[in-house]
Amino acid sequence: MIYFTSDTHFYYSKGQCRVGTRTFNTSAEKNEFLVERWNQTVQLEDEVYLLGDVSDGDGYQTSEILRKLNGKKYLVIGNNDHYLEDPAFDKSIFEWCHQYYELHTMDTKFVLFHFPVEVWSGYRNNRIHLHGHLHRMQPVYEPIRRYEAGVDAHDGSPVSIEKIWETIKDLNNENRNIAGL
DSSP strand pairing (94-98 vs 22-24): unpaired
138 burial level (CB within 10 Å; 0-12, 13-18, 19+)? exposed
Homologous superfamily in CATH for domain 2-168: Metallo-dependent phosphatases (3.60.21.10)
The string of DSSP codes covering 147-167 is EE-BGGGGTTS-EEHHHHHHH
Query: CA 148, CA 89: separation in Å to the nearest integer?
Result: 27
**pTM score:** 0.93
Q: With beta carbons less than 8 A apart as the criterion, state whether 117 and 130 touch.
A: no
Per-residue pLDDT of the chain (181 residues; tens, 9 = 90+): 999 999 999 999 888 899 999 999 999 999 999 999 999 999 999 999 999 999 999 999 999 999 999 999 999 999 999 999 999 999 999 999 999 999 999 999 999 999 999 888 888 787 899 999 988 888 886 778 899 999 999 999 999 999 999 998 888 776 555 444 4
End-to-end CA distance of the chain: 35
**So where are the chain's domains?**
2-168
